[in-house]
Each structure stands twice: as structure tokens, then as C-alpha cells.
Structure 1
Amino acid sequence: MNKNDGGVLLMKRLFIGSLLILLLVGCGNPMQEELLSYINEDLPPLAEKESEVIARYESVTGDNYTNDEVMYAALVDEVQPKYQSFITDLEAVEIEEKEIKTVHEDFIEAANLQHSAFLTVISAIEEQDREKIDEANQKLSKARKMMRQYQVDLKTLAEDNEIEWEKENK
């Protein structure tokens, strides 16, 4: 592996790292209430956790890549276990409404694929296997596509339930 390999692995933050706040426009109903709770209460702590893990990953890839040993140590000691913890927390979110649950399951699937990509990078470094780096990059690309679809589906679900998106002021 070399610096250029790390550059190929640089990934963008997932949607959860750039969450928008939803505000209710109409009267409350169970679907609206649960969707608002999901976005405004369940996802923000997960966003923070995910953002920290991705920031650590980015600190050893791309332009920040120094060598395989540093990248490997960060992946094994921090990125992989913290991302696994993030997935555990993501899977622990309890949802009653079927439509929200379906969208959330897509998010979990994307996160699991991304985690699999991290594990593949670890294996690629251990084995010095260029093909595994390519495999990891394919997984990361697919996970990004899945996450974009999650964003679209979540926004559509909100709009269908008379909830409008409003950017959070920070």
C-alpha cells in the first residue's frame, strides 16, 4: 500500500454527520411524532459518534496517509471498534412505524457495508493485497450510494407526512 492507495479510500461523511432538523408543519399524528423523534432525538447522538469515527478514519487516509502501520493501528484500535459500537447503537433504535423502520433498516445496511469495507482495508494491509483495497473501495462506493438513497427516502417520508426540512443554525 502507498500514499495514493490511501487517497482512493478517502470517503465523505455519511448523511448522519450533516443532519438537518425537521420541524412539524401540521397537526401531530403518531407517524409525524415518531419521525420527528427519530430525526431530532435518535439520530443526533449517533451523528456525533459517527462523525468522530469518520474523522479518525480520514486522519490516516488520503492526504493524511503516512504509512501502512499508522493507518493499520488507527483502523484496528479505533475506527473498527468505534464504528462497530456505532452500528450497535444504530441497531438499538426502536421504531414502531413500518415506513420509518424500513428506511432505518436501509441506513443500518449501509453502515454495515461501510464497516465491512473497513475490515477489508485491515485485511488488505495485513496481506498487502491490492485487490482487497479495490474491493474495499467498491464497498465504500456502494455504501455511499445506499446512504444517498436513505437521504432521499427519509426526506420523502418527511414530506409525505407534512414535515418540512429546516437547516439547524449552528
Structure 2
Amino acid sequence: MILLQRSKLDAKQTSPVSTSTDNELSYEEKQKEIVDFINEDMNEIASYETKANKALASVSAENFKNDKELYRVLTSEVIPEYEKALEKAKSLEVSVEELTPIKDKLEKALIIYYDALQLEKEALEKTDKALIEQSNAKGSEYIEAITEYHVEMEKLAEEYGVNYKKSTTN
């Protein structure tokens, strides 16, 4: 799950003086796009993920009742919300060149988790323990991928004097 706290420009950061051309953004323009990427785009994705994960938590672990209920919530709430997160990530357009590989890492992580959800759905349909294990492995792969995303995002944010905070849930 991606949860970001609001970021803001670091007022103490001194920025190099630069001017904008048709093909190149100034430091300040890049800084603004990075802040907008975090505060708007990532927060929208995080809101979908949060809804999906809350729904999943309501029928799993200590809240687990039965496979039928898990399947119902997975297919009617969790997967549809996660599809919204994935669609938003796929539709993101960035003009800051340094954001492109970070956006790609985020999209890759979301695809991995979506695949994990699909495997869980299939496992419930087929009552297949091996598919559950594959889903769990994808969940671990997602954690690695989303950690990579956060590390790169933190580096870029620091480079542009942006305060970036992620939740401790992933």
C-alpha cells in the first residue's frame, strides 16, 4: 500500500537560478511537478489502495469468516478499487525526466500486487493452495518493488528540496 503524507517545498532549500525553455523545465518547475506528483497523483492512487486494503482486511486474517465472503469482497470491492489505482498509474504523464523511471517503478509495483490479487481470486475459485502460495510470493515481490519506488522517490525529492514522507505500512 502506498500512503504518502503531504509534501511541501523546503523553504530553506536554495535553488539554482534557471530559466525555462520550450524543452527544458526550470528547477522550480521541476520542483513543483514533483510536489504535484506526490500530493495529487500519488495521493489519489493511495486513496484507491487504502480502500482496497481496508476491504481486504475486513475479511482476512483475524476477520476471516469463510472463502465465499473473502471471494465476494475481493471481486466486488478490492479488485475494482485496485484497478482504479492501476489505471491512474498507467495514465500518469510526467514532464520531469527524472520522474519517468520512478513512475515506471510505481506502475510495476502496482501490476505485481494486482497480479497477486488475481492469483488469490483464482485460488479461491479453484480451491488451489498452490495458487495462494503464488499470490503470497507476489505479495512479497510487491513489497520489494514498492520499497524500490520509495527509495528512488526519496532521493529525487531530496535532490529538489521536497519533503517526502511515506507511511510505515509498507
Q: TM-score, normalised by structure 1?
A: 0.83
Q: What is the Cα deviation at residue 121 of structure 1?
A: 0.5
- What is the distance in 1 between the residues matched to 2:158 and 2:76? 41
Distance across 2 between alignment mates of 1:82 and 1:49: 5
Q: How does 1:18-29 map to 2 (within 5 A)?
A: 19-25=4-10, 26=13, 27=15, 29=28
Structure 1 or 2, whichever has the larger Rg, is: 2
In the aligned structure 1, how far is the partner of 2:150 from the partner of 2:95? Answer: 20
Q: CA RMSD in A?
A: 1.8
Q: Aligned AA for 1:69?
A: K
Percentage of pairs with the same residue: 26
Shift of 1:166: 6.3
**Separation (CA, whole Å) in 2 of partners of 1:166 and 1:87:** 21
Residue 164 of structure 1: how far off its partner (Å):
2.9
Q: In the alignment, what sits opposite 1:81? A: 80
Identify the residue that residue 93 of structure 1 maps to in structure 2.
92
Aligned partners of 2:164 and 2:51: how far apart in 1?
A: 25
Q: Aligned in 2, Cα 1:81/1:162: closer, same or farther, shift over 3 Å? A: same
Return the TM-score normalized by structure 2: 0.83
- Total equivalences in the alignment: 153
Amino acid aligned to 1:63: E
**Segments of 4+ moved more than 4 angstroms:** none
Unaligned runs of 5+ in 1: 1-13
Q: What is the CA–CA distance in structure 2 between the aligned matches of 1:97 and 1:157, rounded to whole Å?
A: 11
CA positional deviation for 1:22: 2.0
| Worse-matched range after superposition: 108-117 or 91-100 | 91-100
1:34 CA drift (Å): 1.0
How far apart are the structure 2 equivalents of 1:41 and 1:80? 22
Query: Which of the two has greater helix per residue?
Result: 1
SS in 2 for 1:24: coil
Q: 1:126 to 1:165 in 2, by over 3 A?
A: closer
